[in-house]
Amino acid sequence: MRNPFRYFNSSPEIIFLTVMIYVRYPLSLREVEDLLFERGIDICHETVRFYWNRFGLMFAVEIRKRRVQSHSYSRWRWHPDEVFVKINGETHYLWRAVYHEGEVLEVFVMKRRDRKAALAFLKRAMKRFGQPKVIVTDRLRSYRSAMNLIENAADQECGRWLNTRAEKSH
């Protein structure tokens, strides 16, 4: 694999620090430039923007990989939910899965709200994060029939106020 930093004068550590400061804290490009200048790193705000555009996605993928490896999503409680959204005047359904700490795991947009859509959403989420310990759903019957097909209906908890974690994250 070729080194993505090979044509840059700055070291990879400085590029990583620049991008992470810009991403992690709600700072403008010029504020990141000033913060790095106080630490002895003299770069322009346009360089911060260029580093973010060039390396931001690459760093995000690496962080996501490390997060998945260090946290076992499969031990956690998932809270899937669907929301009605209008896209170009047509009603679609935004399927989302939130884990018990409130972070969104997966987002999926479909035109349907049936067993086939629920099955596609659950398969996609489980392919990425593994099978969860418990899935807490509302009383939508599509979840039960989809979970019967993937043979984890015993892991489903269904109740009136159990899925408020997903409802609060809209």
Partners of residue 44 on adjacent β-strands = none
- Tens of pLDDT along 109-164? 989 888 899 899 988 888 887 778 888 888 788 888 888 888 776 777 776 655 55
- Measured between alpha carbons, how far is 66 from 50 in angstroms, rounded to an integer? 24
Q: Are 60 and 39 in contact (CB under 8 A)?
A: no
Domain boundaries along the sequence of the chain = 12-70, 73-168
What predicted TM-score, i.e. pTM, was given to this entire model? 0.54
pLDDT at 24 over 90: no
pLDDT at 70 over 60: no
Q: Is residue 74 very low, low, confident or very high in pLDDT (cuts 50, 70, 90)?
A: low
Q: Which CATH superfamily hosts domain 73-168?
A: Ribonuclease H-like superfamily/Ribonuclease H (3.30.420.10)
